[in-house]
Amino acid sequence: MSPNVSDVEEAINDTDFSASFAAIVEHDNEDVFRSHSGTHSVTESSDATPVPSSGSVLDDPVNSVLELPSSAGNYLHLDVDSRLPFGKFKHWLGKKLGMDTTQFVVIKHYREDDKGYECNSKDDESLGVKLRPPLKDDEKLIRVLQFDLDEPNRENWRVLFECPASKQTLVGDLMLQCIHLYAEIYGQRLPLNQVRLREMSTISRPVKAVLNPADTLDCRGSQWSNNVYFQIITDERLIGQPGVPVLVRRFRPSTVEVSAIQEALVDPNASNQMESLAQSVSALSGIPVERLAFTEVGSSWEKWPYALSRLAMLDGSVKFYAHPSYSPNEVLER
């Protein structure tokens, strides 16, 4: 969601490896190998002693792959050191398959009967083992990334963790899961009023920017299990305050400067949401309301970070209005 704001001298531009893998050989769907990761397979089985087959142990005895006697046919039961880099694991599979690592992909599975999806781990990442209860039939793992106002490149946003959830999971319950995991993993206990769960829209999928804690994930439609974005509110003036956040940028025509993205809160119940936005922006910028001018509110599907050309704003190609043409109460619908 995004408008832009200006005045005669100043302007504001606002714009809103788990249990198993399968290595599938390209052009040869019959050669499928499945492996189970984790050294627990040795200690928990009293009748299985790891017996390395020829070429089944990497040169480094610490970061090793052991083929267990329970392997049969195209099914490989492996004991894999969790510190092993993914690239070395794939290299081991390539030697086993007798082909280059560029000729096959590794598929990640959560259940025996699922289709899996391509594992996108980098070569220098370790395999790791995640300990968690198995997913229920109606659940999927939702990947949670950190929403970072200060990082314009979304590719650099950090993946925090994954949460199991179903269509009927309340957004508020998912938020509590995220808060718990964040405290457990990163050592910071956040209050509920300091976090938001956000969506990131695409041209083909416009969505509300902030998820309502009272809604279920089913409100996201067929893509209910898509990534969600965990925002930690660091601006003290916003923590615990009511209102829907609108992302804004301030444009200064005199210096052709554009500010970093900030949040202005709009009262969803206001009789005039445009006036509510103007009051919020005025408090944020220190510019009197009567000196503010706004661009049209950008559609929610515009790409992050919702930037407009400085030259276009300076030469008048991008128009600023004291009274935009859209209805005041359309602010939060865009």
Mean per-residue pLDDT, 308-315: 78
Answer whether residue 144 is part of any domain.
yes
| Whether 29 and 77 share a structural domain | yes
DSSP character string of 231-264: EE---TTTTT--SEEEEE-BEETTTTEEPPPEEE
- pLDDT at residue 79, rounded to an integer: 86
pLDDT band at residue 148, thresholds of 50, 70 and 90?
very high
Answer whether residue 237 is part of any domain.
no
Q: Is the pLDDT of residue 40 over 80?
A: no
- pLDDT at residue 105, rounded to an integer: 84
Average predicted confidence (pLDDT) for the chain: 77
> Pick the residue with more confidence: 172 or 251?
172
Answer whether residue 322 is part of any domain.
yes
pLDDT band at residue 55, thresholds of 50, 70 and 90?
very low
Answer whether residue 130 is part of any domain.
no
Q: Is the pLDDT of residue 24 over 70?
A: no
| Whether 247 and 328 share a structural domain | yes
Q: Is the pLDDT of residue 278 over 60?
A: yes
| Whether 223 and 179 share a structural domain | yes
pLDDT in tens, 284-308: 999 999 999 888 766 544 567 777 7
Q: Is the pLDDT of residue 170 over 80?
A: yes
> Taking the C-alpha atoms of 131, 136, 137 and 142 in order, what is their torsion angle to the nearest 10 degrees?
-60
Answer whether residue 302 is part of any domain.
yes
> Pick the residue with more confidence: 327 or 204?
327
Q: Is the pLDDT of residue 177 over 90?
A: yes
pLDDT band at residue 330, thresholds of 50, 70 and 90?
confident
- pLDDT at residue 74, rounded to an integer: 80
The residue out of 54, 86, 118 marking a domain boundary is: 118
| Whether 227 and 259 share a structural domain | no
pLDDT in tens, 208-222: 789 999 999 999 988
Answer whether residue 6 is part of any domain.
yes
Domain count, the chain: 3
- pLDDT at residue 129, rounded to an integer: 58
Nearest CA-CA partner of 309 in 323, 321, 322, 295: 295
Mean per-residue pLDDT, 133-159: 89
> Pick the residue with more confidence: 144 or 21?
144
DSSP character string of 166-202: ETT-BHHHHHHHHHHHHHHHHS----GGGEEEE---B
| Whether 203 and 147 share a structural domain | yes
Q: Cβ of 322: how many Cβ atoms within 10 Å?
A: 13
Mean per-residue pLDDT, 192-213: 80
The residue out of 232, 251, 269 marking a domain boundary is: 232
pLDDT band at residue 37, thresholds of 50, 70 and 90?
very low
Residue 147: CATH number of its domain:
3.10.20.90
- pLDDT at residue 21, rounded to an integer: 44
pLDDT band at residue 281, thresholds of 50, 70 and 90?
very high
Answer whether residue 307 is part of any domain.
yes
- pLDDT at residue 325, rounded to an integer: 72
Give the span between the Cα atoms of 157 and 143, in whole angstroms: 12
| Whether 221 and 175 share a structural domain | yes
Beta bridge partners of 23: 33, 106
The residue out of 83, 118, 153 marking a domain boundary is: 118
Residue appearing with tokens 């408090």? 283
- pLDDT at residue 101, rounded to an integer: 87
Distance from the Cα of residue 278 to its chain's centroid: 31
Mean per-residue pLDDT, 266-283: 90
Answer whether residue 132 is part of any domain.
no
Q: Is the pLDDT of residue 272 over 80?
A: yes
Q: Is the pLDDT of residue 173 over 70?
A: yes
Of all residues in the chain, the percent with pLDDT exceeding 70 is: 73
pLDDT band at residue 110, thresholds of 50, 70 and 90?
low
| Whether 10 and 92 share a structural domain | no
| Whether 287 and 254 share a structural domain | yes
> Pick the residue with more confidence: 71 or 140?
140
Give the span between the Cα atoms of 93 and 76, in whole angstroms: 10
Q: Which helix (H) or strand (E) holds 91?
A: helix 86-97
Residue 297 and residue 331 in contact, taking contact as beta carbons nearer than 8 Å: yes
| Whether 24 and 12 share a structural domain | no
Task: State phi, psi for 251 to the nearest 5 degrees.
Answer: -105, 130
| Whether 50 and 113 share a structural domain | yes
Residue 106 and residue 21 in contact, taking contact as beta carbons nearer than 8 Å: yes
Q: Which domain holds residue 88?
A: 20-118
| Whether 327 and 297 share a structural domain | yes
Give the span between the Cα atoms of 144 and 128, in whole angstroms: 18
| Whether 263 and 318 share a structural domain | yes
Give the span between the Cα atoms of 129 and 44, in whole angstroms: 15
